[in-house]
């Protein structure tokens, strides 16, 4: 019988369809949908399958106000649970205003002609994160995208948007002071999907390279036989090896994830529902894990504000209250 990760909480944000079509990044939604499905699967990460533990903000739900409200919700949940482990996962554009080094997350409802007045500033984002008092908080930022991630509403590929004068798209790591601000508070761990001026590349039509390997790590890719839990260090070790290899092989590009772990290692999920890895380790379950990732990607989709597993008519997975 699976063990439930009762103290796990998550806020997953995939900007996806932008109100300004040229900024749409549909793969970010597929990433959050896949991650959500893995987290609530009782045979994988075993987070409780209800909105008291996980919220998903995709497409038109990923507005500035909804993101800040989601962080406020996470603050409330972790205050009520002294053993809480929290995950914040953001996938979307990140732009830097070069004249003053202000960094912005471009949520769904931005005005491309008034980025400072409409986008979610890193200051507001980090201030909201600082209010979360959990001693185990993992923040993952995937903010610099490439390789055909932008499409129109009709699903046709579109050229990358021309950035307004004075702005550049860079990973959060390039915004001076942002990472230091994110690290403030006890128990903070920060991941970014790339460093320097690198891009975050896609693996296929279903997932980015980074999220695909994140899902592998959640299934034990860096664990040892007998392990029954996945720790932050397992994610770090595996992503640090697998992502650069895939980016080089698939795109001939450099993509090196970055990590800051200024705290003790902590558990982020159950491993295979608490059953753990068998005696022969990861290689023995890798084919099954790969199949599960592909199955998740194909069978999870979003209808309006609901995330649905179309494989089970009686087991609809809802990411928002019906």
Which residues, 6+ apart, have CB-to-CB distance to 41 below 8 Å?
Answer: 273, 296
Is domain 8-309 given the CATH code 1.20.5.510 in the classification? no
254 closest CA partner among 266, 263, 244, 264 = 244
pLDDT tens digits, 223-282: 999 999 999 999 999 999 999 999 999 999 999 999 998 789 999 999 999 999 999 999
Q: What DSSP string runs through 63-76?
A: -HHHHHHHHHHHHH
Task: Kindly list the domain boundaries of the chain, sorted by start residue.
Answer: 8-309
190 closest CA partner among 248, 244, 130 = 130
Question: What count of other Cβ atoms lies within 10 Å of the Cβ of residue 120?
Answer: 26
Q: Which of 107-116, 249-258, 294-303 has the highest mean pLDDT?
A: 249-258
Burial of 36 (0-12, 13-18, 19+ CB in 10 A): buried
Of 45 and 51, the structure prediction assigns the larger pLDDT to 45
What percentage of the chain carries pLDDT values higher than 90? Answer: 55
Residue 208 has pLDDT above 50, yes or no: yes
230 closest CA partner among 133, 129, 138, 292 = 138
Least confident range from 55-64, 162-171, 223-232: namely 162-171
Of 77 and 196, the structure prediction assigns the larger pLDDT to 77
92 closest CA partner among 25, 178, 19 = 25
Of 22 and 261, the structure prediction assigns the larger pLDDT to 261
Residue 320 has pLDDT above 80, yes or no: no
Going by pLDDT thresholds of 50, 70 and 90, the confidence category of residue 146 is low
**Dist CA 43 CA 3 (whole Å):** 9
Q: Which of 61-70, 187-196, 296-305 has the highest mean pLDDT?
A: 61-70
Question: What count of other Cβ atoms lies within 10 Å of the Cβ of residue 318?
Answer: 16
Residue 321 has pLDDT above 60, yes or no: no
Tokens for 259, please give them: 């990590």
CB 257 within 8 A of CB 195: yes
Average pLDDT (121-148) is: 87
What percentage of the chain carries pLDDT values higher than 70? Answer: 86
Tokens for 19, please give them: 């109100």
- The number of CA neighbours under 13 Å toward the Cβ of 207 is 25
Taking the whole predicted model, whether its pTM rises above 0.75 is answered as yes
Average pLDDT (176-203) is: 85
Going by pLDDT thresholds of 50, 70 and 90, the confidence category of residue 153 is very low
For the range 66-72, what are the long-range contacts, defined as Cβ-Cβ under 8 Å and sequence gap of 24 or more? 67/13, 67/105, 67/107, 67/120, 67/125, 68/120, 68/124, 68/128, 70/11, 70/13, 71/11, 71/125, 71/128, 71/129, 71/131, 71/132, 72/128, 72/131
Mean pLDDT in the chain? 85
Least confident range from 107-121, 140-154, 256-270: namely 140-154
Residue 322 has pLDDT above 60, yes or no: no
Number of residues that make up the chain = 322
Residue 193 has pLDDT above 60, yes or no: yes
Q: How many angstroms separate the Cα of 226 from the Cα of each of 86, 95, 267? A: 25, 43, 15
Residue 176 has pLDDT above 90, yes or no: no
């Amino acid at each position: 019988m699976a063990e439930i990760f009762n103290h796990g909480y998550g806020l997953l944000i995939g900007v996806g369809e932008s109100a300004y079509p040229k900024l749409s990044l549909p793969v970010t939604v597929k990433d959050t949908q896949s991650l959500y499905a893995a987290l609530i699967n009782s045979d994988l990460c075993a987070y409780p399958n209800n909105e008291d533990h996980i919220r998903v903000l995709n497409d038109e739900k990923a507005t500035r106000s909804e993101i800040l409200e989601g962080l406020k919700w996470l603050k409330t949940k972790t205050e009520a649970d002294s053993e809480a482990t929290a995950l914040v996962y953001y996938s979307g554009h990140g732009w830097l205003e070069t004249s003053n080094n202000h960094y912005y997350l471009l949520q769904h409802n931005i005005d491309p002609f008034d980025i400072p007045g409409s986008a979610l500033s890193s200051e507001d984002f980090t201030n909201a994160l600082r209010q979360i008092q959990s001693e185990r908080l993992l923040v993952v930022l995937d903010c610099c995208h490439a390789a055909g991630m932008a499409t129109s509403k009709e699903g046709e590929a579109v050229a990358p948007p021309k950035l307004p004068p004075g702005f550049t798209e860079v990973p959060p790591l390039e915004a001076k002071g942002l990472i230091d601000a994110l690290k403030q508070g006890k128990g903070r761990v920060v991941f970014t999907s790339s460093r320097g001026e690198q891009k975050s590349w896609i693996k296929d039509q279903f997932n980015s390279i980074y999220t695909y390997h994140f899902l592998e790590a959640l299934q034990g890719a860096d664990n040892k036989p007998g392990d029954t839990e996945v720790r932050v260090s397992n994610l770090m070790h595996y992503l640090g090896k697998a992502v650069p290899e895939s980016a080089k092989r698939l795109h001939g590009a450099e993509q090196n994830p970055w990590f800051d772990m200024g705290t003790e290692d902590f558990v982020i999920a159950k491993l295979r529902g608490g059953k753990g890895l068998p005696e022969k380790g990861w290689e023995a379950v890798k084919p099954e894990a790969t199949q599960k990732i592909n199955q998740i990607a194909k069978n999870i989709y979003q209808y309006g504000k609901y995330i649905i597993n179309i494989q089970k008519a009686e087991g609809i997975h809802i990411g928002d209250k019906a």
